[in-house]
């Protein structure tokens, strides 16, 4: 029996590492194994920015990957949390009755949805703002080089 609340929290907290996919679909899930790659690249970009500064082109190309992965997993948590119990049980627990308690929504599920909405929206908007800011700063620098 796959619990909707646990899947929602796993998607929100450990989603960028694919743990919610392994919980729901098993260790043979390809998407679960691929999810840590952009997450690790984003973390590497943050490390490069810490080491070389934010003017490092590779770091500002990689950092948004982490933000987008966090935002995507938060959206996934919201979708899981808002799924009706009947639909959840039909998709994730086909062997159990449609009214099974594994698909029930409780206050912990609502808490996960609220946290995912808050953190996911912040991560997405921050990633977009950071990307555009660095891109336009880079364009201004290149324009100055050409004009000299």
At 8-66, the pLDDT tens digits run 999 999 999 999 999 999 999 999 999 999 999 999 999 999 999 878 889 988 999 99
pLDDT of residue 138: 87
Q: Residue 19 CB: number of other CB atoms within 10 A?
A: 18
* pLDDT confidence band for 74 (50 / 70 / 90): very high
pTM to 2 decimal places: 0.88
Residue 52: partners with Cβ closer than 8 Å, 6 or more residues away = 59
Which pLDDT belongs to residue 60? Answer: 87
pLDDT score for 10? 97
What is the pLDDT, as a whole number, of residue 98?
78
Q: Is the pLDDT of residue 147 over 90?
A: no
Q: What is the pLDDT of residues 89-144, one digit of tens each?
A: 999 988 888 788 888 889 999 999 999 999 999 999 999 999 899 889 889 988 99
Is the four-CA dihedral 79, 81, 82, 84 of positive or negative sign? positive
Q: What percent of the chain has pLDDT over 90?
A: 76
**Residue 48: CB atoms within 10 Å:** 19
In a 3-state reduction of DSSP, which class is residue 26?
A: coil
CA 79 to CA 117: how far, in whole Å? 11
List the domain boundaries for the chain.
4-147
pLDDT at 128: 94
Segment 85-91 shows an average pLDDT of 91
Higher pLDDT, 147 or 125: 125
């Amino acid at each position: 029996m796959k619990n909707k609340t646990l899947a929602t929290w796993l998607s929100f907290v450990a989603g960028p590492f694919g743990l919610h996919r392994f919980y729901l679909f098993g260790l043979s899930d390809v998407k679960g194994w691929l999810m840590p790659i952009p997450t690790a690249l984003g973390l590497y970009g943050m490390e490069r920015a810490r080491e070389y500064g934010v003017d490092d082109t590779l770091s500002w190309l990689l950092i948004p990957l982490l933000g987008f992965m966090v935002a995507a997993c938060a959206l996934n948590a919201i979708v899981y949390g808002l799924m009706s119990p009947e639909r959840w049980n039909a998709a994730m627990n086909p062997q159990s009755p449609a009214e099974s308690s594994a698909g029930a929504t409780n206050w912990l599920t609502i808490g996960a949805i609220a946290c995912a909405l808050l953190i996911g929206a912040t991560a997405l908007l921050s990633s977009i703002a950071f990307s555009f800011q660095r891109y336009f700063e880079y364009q201004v620098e290149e324009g100055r080089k050409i004009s000299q």
